[in-house]
Structure 1
Amino acid sequence: MSSRIGPQRTTKTAAKLRLLPTAEEFYSSNWQETGTDVYTQLPHIEGSSARRDAEQLGKRHRERLPRVTAYCTCDSYRMDLLFKFFQSRRNSHHARPKQFDECIYSPYSYVTDDEPTTGDLIEVPEMHHQGNDSSQSNGGSGDSELNLDKRQPLFREVFCFNYGVVVMWGYTIEEEHRFLKELARFEVEKLKMDDVELEEFNYYITTLYQPRIFNDFIALRETSTYMVRLSISHAIAQSVKISLFEELVNETIDAMKDIPQYIAESGRVMLRREEIMMAVGQLFILRININLQGSVLDSPELMWTEPHLEPIYSAARSYLEINQRVALLNQRVEVIGDLLSMLKEQITHTHDESLEWILVLLLTVLVVVAVLSIAVDFRLM
């Protein structure tokens, strides 16, 4: 749907940085000083190689680096059946499912080799650079100056969240669509194709500087485990679910944006009482989904059992501006609620006036009937 706005976060268009700390770094004074804000200026990036890579990574590199994508496809998944599905694909797709509260994790490969493919390498042409001083001093913008290993690992992993979001690491677009077709049988309240929300990132491995997210590129250490990617995936999944709420609010605003102008010009409400009450009900459902679906807004249960992962999750969540977006959503929903409350009161007032006129009319009819009855009685006397 061409009119869709997509995730309403500034990091889609602005150059912002978020470092991904280790647990030790998070509790150190250095991290407290440099890691608590989302940076908007490249000079804050430590290390010349890190800064140069951040400046040069752009659209032309997305087709070369492994993908990280999140799809919001439905209201929820049938998690028990989905887990059994992964277990049944141990031999054919090298699945090794693990369940973490609201998430099922598993490697999942479409390669037909006998050995598991998690950790295989992908060739990234013309992106290998070993820190040559002459190239750094040239300040050129060629791909060869990026500090990326030429062979990047393909994790080929899926993270399925019970609130209807799947995050996939290391797949091609064709493989992602293939998996979505397999996933469809486990969806509850499936979204229409035009309503499916999507977040897209790329990742790469580097040992030259601290892991980070910049311009939707995720830099990881080679030693990072799937638990690190699970922490990041939690934040990405929440972000894409919030994108669905943002789109629903946008549609509601578009549907109602002409009402105040119409009232100002005509002094009348053009909606029926039933339409207003339906809109009020939909608004309450949306508000409940935004604020009461704990797995979407709160820290996952995993962060309580694995506290060393919480700094990574918090950093990714901050980069995706989840708290700010939820606050903005609630403000916009509140404005819509005020409009609907005014319409409801006006309709109720109009309805009460109608009832009063009907009562007056009925009383008038009764009086007329009584007078006619008395007049007839007099004539018959």
Structure 2
Amino acid sequence: MAEDSNTRLPELTARAVLLGERIDTAGLERRDALSATPLAFRVGQNAGMAVVFRYGVVVLVGLDTLAEDEVIRGVAPRVIDPFSMREEETIRLTPLDGREERADSDGVVRIADFSPERMLVVADALAKSAALAHDERQVEEVMEAIEPWARTLSERGRRPAGRREMIQLIGRGLLVQHHVAGRVAVSEKPDLLWDRPDLERLYARLEDEYELIERAGILDRKLNLISETAQLITDLMDTERSLRLEVIVVLLIALEIVLSVFQILWGFRH
């Protein structure tokens, strides 16, 4: 079966599309499904297949544009919080040329066959890369928003004015943290590898090609910086608020003293 697929399809294209925050796969199950988690099924008569990941990504393998659009339209009603800008990742898959399975620098992945198991491994790495690309862009936007604030704090020694803007910045940072933490566990390997340990080397090559662990580590460090910055903003706001309350209390005490003195002096005069 694998050899026949390689003969008919010397090269396949795999494309990952990030549609939204999550995809509700309940009710999408099929009797002819190739996998339940993630949900994978054949599309068309050839080696084409679609893989639906709950964290918002659909991977389309060996499909033309019309077939891809049809799959996406079928999944779209199940997308929770769809994104206006869809992140995409594309690679080409070709049979081996006599050497071991690998991911070449030109974006071509050479694999032993086009079996569903290998396609699932490829889809898992490709989907994680697409999700990471979206998260990286979101984090960069928050970092760019933080930079002017940090520059003003460094130059003037105090936070910029605009309490509402700062609260929005804190909320944006927390929202990105929630999205990244809850989207996909990059460090976790596909469940398929428990049954097919022979595919671990292929997944490791793809993991290295897309630098999944390294990118996740960089994201984690940036998120920690965002968290620390949000905490700093909160502390400064609380300090300023406490200082204003203390000043108000002191002024009230001083006013009370002045009034008491005035009453005493007024009593002496009359």
- Relative to the length of structure 2, the TM-score reads 0.84
- The answer to whether the aligner puts 1:97 opposite 2:33 as a matched pair is yes
Distance 1:278 1:295 in 2: 27
Residue 52 of structure 2 is matched in structure 1 by 160
Over 3 Å counting, the alpha-carbon distance change for 1:188 and 1:325 in structure 2 is same
**Contact persistence 1:291–1:297 (CA under 8 A):** no
Residue 115 of structure 2 is matched in structure 1 by 225
Residue 80 of structure 1 is matched in structure 2 by 26
Residue 204 of structure 1 is matched in structure 2 by 94
Gaps of 5+ in 1: 1-63, 88-95, 110-116, 119-154
Distance 1:311 1:206 in 2: 15
Residue 205 of structure 2 is matched in structure 1 by 315
Over 3 Å counting, the alpha-carbon distance change for 1:294 and 1:71 in structure 2 is closer
Distance 2:70 2:127 in 1: 19
Distance 1:308 1:300 in 2: 13
What is the percentage of aligned positions where both structures have the same residue? 20
Aligned match for 2:156, one of 235, 255, 266: 266
**Contact persistence 1:273–1:344 (CA under 8 A):** no
Gaps of 5+ in 2: 1-9
Distance 2:184 2:157 in 1: 42
Over 3 Å counting, the alpha-carbon distance change for 1:366 and 1:244 in structure 2 is same
Describe how 1:176-215 pairs up with structure 2 within 5 A.
176-192=68-84, 194=85, 196-214=86-104, 215=106
Cα deviations by residue, 1:28-73 (Å, 9 ceiling, x for unpaired): xxxxxxxxxxxxxxxxxxxxxxxxxxxxxxxxxxxx9532100111
Over 3 Å counting, the alpha-carbon distance change for 1:224 and 1:181 in structure 2 is closer
Distance 1:263 1:191 in 2: 34
Local SS of the residue matching 2:99: coil
Distance 1:71 1:293 in 2: 15
The runs of at least 4 aligned residues of structure 1 exceeding 6 Å deviation read: none
Distance 2:69 2:264 in 1: 83
Residue 54 of structure 1 is matched in structure 2 by none
**Contact persistence 2:121–2:190 (CA under 8 A):** no
Q: Give the letter aligned to residue 133 of structure 2.
A: S
Aligned match for 1:66, one of 6, 12, 15: 12
Residue 20 of structure 1 is matched in structure 2 by none
Over 3 Å counting, the alpha-carbon distance change for 1:261 and 1:363 in structure 2 is same
Distance 2:43 2:53 in 1: 16
Kindly state the Cα deviation for residue 288 of structure 1 after the two structures are TM-superposed.
4.8
**Contact persistence 1:283–1:337 (CA under 8 A):** yes
Residue 5 of structure 2 is matched in structure 1 by none
Residue 218 of structure 2 is matched in structure 1 by 328
Cα deviations by residue, 1:157-210 (Å, 9 ceiling, x for unpaired): 101011111110112234323322221101111111x2x211011222345333
**Contact persistence 2:34–2:116 (CA under 8 A):** no
Aligned match for 1:367, one of 235, 254, 257: 257
Over 3 Å counting, the alpha-carbon distance change for 1:219 and 1:324 in structure 2 is same
Residue 63 of structure 2 is matched in structure 1 by 171
Aligned match for 1:344, one of 225, 234, 255: 234
- Relative to the length of structure 1, the TM-score reads 0.61
Cα deviations by residue, 1:244-281 (Å, 9 ceiling, x for unpaired): 11011111011122122222333331254554455345
Aligned length in residues: 260
Aligned match for 1:306, one of 196, 204, 207: 196
Question: RMSD between aligned alpha carbons?
Answer: 2.6
Distance 1:168 1:177 in 2: 10
